[in-house]
Amino acid sequence: MPAVGGPRPRVLFVGHDASRTGAPVVGLAFVRWLATQGTADVGVALLGPGPLEPHYRRAAPTTVAAPRPWAVDALARAVPGVRARRPRPAGADPQVVVANTLAALAPAAALDAPRLVCWVHELDGVAERVLPARRRHQLLPRVHRWVAAGPRVAEMLVSRWGLSPARVVTVPEFTDRRPEPVPGAPDRGVRVLGAGAGAPRKGIDAFVACLSDLATRGEVPPAAWVGGSPEALAVREAGADLRRVGIDDRVQLVAEVDDLGPWWPRHGLLLHPAREDPYPLVVVEAGQRAVPVVTWDTGGAADLLRAAGLAHLVAEPGDLVGLVRRVEDLLADEAARADAGRALQRATEVLVADQQAPFVWAACTEAGP
Amino acid sequence: MSGPTVVWVLVGDLGRTGVPVALARMARWHAHTRTDAGATPVQLHVLAGRDGPLRADLAAATASVTVLEPAHRRSAATTVAAAAAQSGRPGAADRVRALAWRTRTRRLPAPDVVLVHGAGAWRIHADLADRLPPGHRLVVHLHELDEALARCIPADRRADFLGTADAVLAVCTPVADLAVAAGARPASVSVATVAADDAPVAAAGPASPRRPAVVSIGAPGWRKGTDRALAVAHELRRTHPEVRCSWVGGEPAPAERFAVGSSLPLAFHPSTSTPWQAAGPGTVLLVPSREDPFPLVVLEAGARGLPVVAAATGGLPELLGHGRGWVVPGHDLVALAEAVAEALDAPDDAAARGEALRFEVAARHAPAVVGPAWLAAVLGPLA
């Protein structure tokens, strides 16, 4: 496979949407970094809208695909072999196309660029939903290089999808830059924070179950789950649980916010009970703020905690009582919280664009097998 | 002699879950009950929103079964209706679906009684309303608690629907209270419980000791408390590593599965019509539900004398009270695990509670006990 030549290769970054979720946020950090390097002509094609759209536009020329009529989508889903191609984004033909997530892979592959890179932010469950095996097998050979968002994704690609390790580079999720402390910043007074889409995969139900169990032994600390539409089924169920236990005045369910800043616990922790999460950005962000994290062994959060010497904060998958005990212990021990926060901060200080984005860029340009 | 009393029984689906199974038991009882001389015979015609494995059972025990939609996909009519809904024309969607469903019922005799069996059948009633004769008796048998009821019947239709019913039957007292709070006339509401299955044949010979086991049964998910069963299994792995924990009723939905490679102490098994085959001495039924008005599996366990540990929901505190089982607040995960451990550690006490439950089930939930009361409540003055 050839390396991409020329002084300023033309790169098109294809994102599935501009939502304020992990992959689009990390993708935006990469686009911003790449645009500031001046080493490439960067363009962005977004397959769906979202609140990050203006940020993408500020970073690079951005095209947002118009939504397809539902009937076309329905036909494409229902009839095998029917592929509803999206219109090509405007601009020069790219030399490199980066599909940011598996959900963006098929439209990105349809551009037939000389080099196709797929940045995978999904694990098996989501991967199967957004790119079923039958379609995946057709697309795998067309990808020149895979970027895995963490070791668990790399393991999926190599061990379960059969890709050559030489075609896979592992780059953990990263932020734009380490957050700066803001004196006098607003504080919601939350001690236990959960964050993510209001869905079972992110564990909103487990978050509420843990706090409900805590309620049986004393007063529940002020807590909040931030993210998810109030109309989402899992959010409604979580609300029903809180009301049933009588802690809906102590535990808030907050829809998606522009800025998570005021919600970060100053004297508490992030509880991250996701059932499947390759390398949760919110855990990286917590670490960079020295906020300790309690989680299950279901993805990159556990790997990050272990790497930080915090394996004792990782419970077995589905072990709600194990989570609760860890939360109780940390809340009761300020010194332990501070130690854990510092350890996680050390482990996450390299997870910023300046240090990680070059590895993604290398996957886009270097010659490979 | 006048013609038979025609009862349309509307049911959301024919899956092997509580609401359809409860109906199948009543239908089977009715089919095997000789009508008293001089009494008007009753014809049950089942209209099911979706197909499912109970269809054959019901077809054998009723005058007819009409299935409005396939089990796992959309019919042409509902595909068109869905298209209309997605195009922003929900009214047209309702009309298309209602027309298709009314067409499927045109050969049925006009009903004297319409029984909406479970709130999940509300949609069928709403779509067939124009097809129903004036003056028919409307009976609603509610099997749902808060969230399930909210999901099945839109808030703005609930009071009107329940308020106009001639009778609202509730499977337990909390459901009856909920029905009144939702708009049913208090005078129309009564409790009509559900039946256990036919008494199992006792195994021949002395029971052989088996590895202690904890089993939960149902469609996995939030309502049935699968996460709680998993939490209990983890606790037991720490305290009682010899205990086998299983869930019968299928795998969790894809969105609720744990990452590949997760080692779970709870084994998931497919749904089956014979979930009790593997249950023997040393088996404890765990019912960790968040919402479960009157789970049939508890009656089935009772019919077999098995001990039951349950979260306090619906009618379970009443059924399992007085030493007939263990009931704990479902969100207290440690208490739930401790109750299971107690049932495992004290087999004599567990057996005594199982026996007390067996007696209660035989006395109050045998089909021959529940059936006549159910039919009388359904028919009302037409009985």
pLDDT confidence tier of residue A369, bands split at 50, 70 and 90: very low
Whether B77 and B175 map to the same domain: the answer is: yes
Q: Is residue B31 part of a domain?
A: yes
B16 CB neighbour count, 10 Å cutoff: 18
- Partners of B255 on chain A (C-beta within 8 Å) are 125, 199-201
- B349 and B221 in a common domain: yes
Within-domain flag for B41: yes
Q: Residue A44: helix, strand or coil by DSSP?
A: strand
**Phi-psi map region of B250: left, alpha, beta (phi>0 left; psi -120 to 50 alpha):** left
Inform me whether the C-beta atom of residue B85 falls under 8 Å from chain A C-beta atoms. Answer: no
CATH number at residue B319: 3.40.50.2000
Q: State which residue of chain A sits closest to B86, comparing Cα positions.
A: A70
Model confidence pLDDT, tens digit, residues A77-128: 555 555 555 656 655 589 999 999 999 999 999 999 999 999 999 999 999 9
Same domain? For B341 and B371 the reply is no
Confidence grade of residue B202 (pLDDT, cut at 50, 70, 90): low
Intrachain domains A10-177+353-365 and A192-348 with the same fold? yes
pLDDT at B139: 97
Tell me how far CA of residue A46 lies from CA of A67, A239, A295, B214, B345, in angstroms.
11, 33, 32, 50, 59
- Reply yes or no on whether the pLDDT at A235 is more than 90: yes
Angle at alpha carbon of residue B69, lines to B67 and B72, rounded to 5°:
120
In chain B, the N- to C-terminal Cα span, in Å, equals 15
Average pLDDT, integer, range B18-23: 95
* Beta carbons of B227 and A318 less than 8 Å apart: yes
Model pLDDT, residue B236: 97
Closest CA to B20 of B43, B45, B60, B52: B52
In this prediction, residues B191-214 reach a mean pLDDT of: 72
User: Domain span at residue B352?
Assistant: 213-364
Within a domain: residue B87?
yes
Are B29 and B143 in a shared domain? yes
Statement to judge: residues B20 and B10 lie in one domain:
yes
- Report phi then psi at B75, rounded to 5: -75, 170
Instruction: Give the pLDDT band of residue B70 (cuts 50, 70, 90).
Output: confident
Mean pLDDT, range B19-40, rounded to an integer: 85
Q: What percent of chain B shows pLDDT beyond 70?
A: 95
Tell whether B182 and B159 lie within a shared domain. yes
A211 shares contact with chain B (CB less than 8 Å): no
- The sheet carrying A293-296 orders its strands as A251-254, A223-226, A192-195, A269-272, A293-296, A314-315
Position B282 scores a pLDDT of 86
Out of 3.40.50.2000, 3.40.50.2300, 3.40.50.300, 1.10.10.60, the CATH code matching A10-177+353-365 is 3.40.50.2000
Query: For residue B229, what is the nearest residue in chain A, using CA coordinates?
Result: A318
Whether residue B200 has pLDDT greater than 90: no
Report CB contact under 8 Å: A322, B234. Answer: yes
Q: Assess A219–B contact: CB distance below 8 Å, yes or no.
A: no
* pLDDT score, position B214: 96
- Both structure tokens of A321: 């009582």
- Based on the structure, what is the number of domains in chain B? 2
B33 pLDDT tier (thresholds 50, 70, 90):
confident
Q: Which of residues 273-302 of B touch A (CB under 8 A)?
A: 290
Do the Cβ atoms of B147 and A206 come within 8 Å? no
What is each CA distance from B121 to A43, A285, A366, B70, B175, in whole angstroms?
52, 47, 61, 15, 16
Higher pLDDT among residues B71 and A103, named by residue: A103
B315, B293 Cβ separation under 8 angstroms: yes
Which of A83-92, A353-362, B116-125, B131-140 is predicted with the least confidence, judged by mean pLDDT? Answer: A83-92
Beta-carbon separation of A209 and B228 below 8 A? yes
Q: Are A317 and B259 a contacting pair at CB < 8 A?
A: yes
| Residue A113 in contact with partner chain B when CB distance is under 8 A | no
CA pair distance A272, A194, nearest whole angstrom: 6
Best B260, B292, B334, B338 member to test A by mutation, with max A CBs in 10 Å, is: B260
Interval A14-25: pLDDT, tens = 999 999 999 999
One domain for residues B290 and B371: no
Asked if the C-beta of B214 comes within 8 angstroms of chain A's C-beta atoms, the answer is: no
Q: Which of A227-236, B18-27, B29-38, B279-288 is least confident?
A: B29-38
Fold of A192-348: Rossmann fold (3.40.50)
Interface test with A, best of B75, B235, B247, B258 (most A CBs within 10 A): B258
Name the residue among B301, B332, B121, B159 with its Cα closest to residue A209.
B332
Assess A324–B contact: CB distance below 8 Å, yes or no: yes
Cα separation, B379 vs B368, whole angstroms: 17
Q: What is the pLDDT of residues A326-346, one digit of tens each?
A: 999 999 999 999 999 999 999
What integer is the mean pLDDT of A133-156?
95
CB contact under 8 A, A125 and B257: yes
* CB of A198 closer than 8 Å to CB of A232: yes
- The Cα B370–Cα B338 span in angstroms is 34
**Residue B206, domain member (yes or no):** no
- pLDDT 10s digits, A154-205: 999 999 999 999 999 999 999 999 888 777 778 899 999 999 999 999 999 9
Residue B273's pLDDT is what?
81
The alpha-carbon gap from B231 to the nearest alpha carbon of chain A, in Å, equals 5
Tens of pLDDT along B76-103?
Answer: 777 777 777 777 777 777 788 888 888 8
Q: In chain A, where are the structural domains located? A: 10-177+353-365, 192-348
Region A41-56: what's the mean pLDDT?
94
Mean pLDDT taken over chain A: 91
- Please check whether residues B18 and B167 belong to one and the same domain: yes
Q: How far is CA B88 from CA A191, B83, B357, B377, in A?
A: 43, 9, 52, 41
Q: Do B222 and A321 touch (CB under 8 A)?
A: no
Alpha-carbon span B275 to A349, nearest angstrom: 53
